[in-house]
Amino acid sequence: MTIQYRHHAQSAHRLALYWAPPVGSALATIGAAWLGRDTTGARLGDRPVLQGFDAERLVQLTEAPRHYGLHATLKPPFSLAEGSDEAQLGAAIDAAARQIAPFMMPPLQLRLLDGFLALVPAAPCPALDDLAARCVADFDGFRRPAPAAELARRRASGLSRRQDDNLLRWGYPYVFEDFRFHVTLTGRLDPAEADRLQPLLATLFAPAIGMPFEVNDVTLFVQDEAALPFYQRWRFSLTGRGS
What's the per-residue H, E or C state across 57-68? Answer: HHHHHCHHHHHH
- Give the per-residue pLDDT at 241: 87
- Give the per-residue pLDDT at 8: 56
Contact status, residue 184 vs residue 65, Cβ threshold 8 Å? yes
Where do the domains of the chain lie? 2-124+183-237
**174 Cβ neighbours under 8 A, 6+ residues apart:** 163, 166, 180
3-state secondary structure of 99: coil
- Residue 47 φ then ψ, to 5°: -70, 145
0.85 surpassed by pTM? yes
- Give the per-residue pLDDT at 43: 83
Give the pLDDT of the chain (243 residues) as one tens digit per residue: 566 666 555 567 899 999 999 999 999 999 999 999 999 988 887 889 999 999 999 999 999 999 999 999 999 999 999 999 999 999 999 999 999 999 999 999 999 999 999 999 999 999 999 999 999 999 999 999 988 888 899 898 889 999 999 999 999 999 999 999 999 999 999 999 999 999 999 999 999 999 999 999 999 999 999 889 999 999 999 999 865
Furthest-apart CA atoms within the chain: distance in Å: 52
Contact status, residue 46 vs residue 190, Cβ threshold 8 Å? no
Q: What is the number of other CB atoms lying within 10 angstroms of the CB of residue 166?
A: 22
Measuring CA to CA, which residue among 125, 153, 151, 144 is closest to residue 212? Answer: 125
Q: Which letter, b or e, does each residue of 53-89 get, where b requires 16 or more Cβ atoms within 10 Å of its Cβ?
A: beeeebeebbeebbebbbbbbbbbbbbbeeebebeeb
- Give the per-residue pLDDT at 157: 83
**182 Cβ neighbours under 8 A, 6+ residues apart:** 72, 111, 113, 118, 119, 120
Provide CATH code, domain 2-124+183-237: 3.90.1140
3-state secondary structure of 236: strand
- Residue 2 φ then ψ, to 5°: -115, 130
- Give the per-residue pLDDT at 7: 55
- Give the per-residue pLDDT at 150: 86
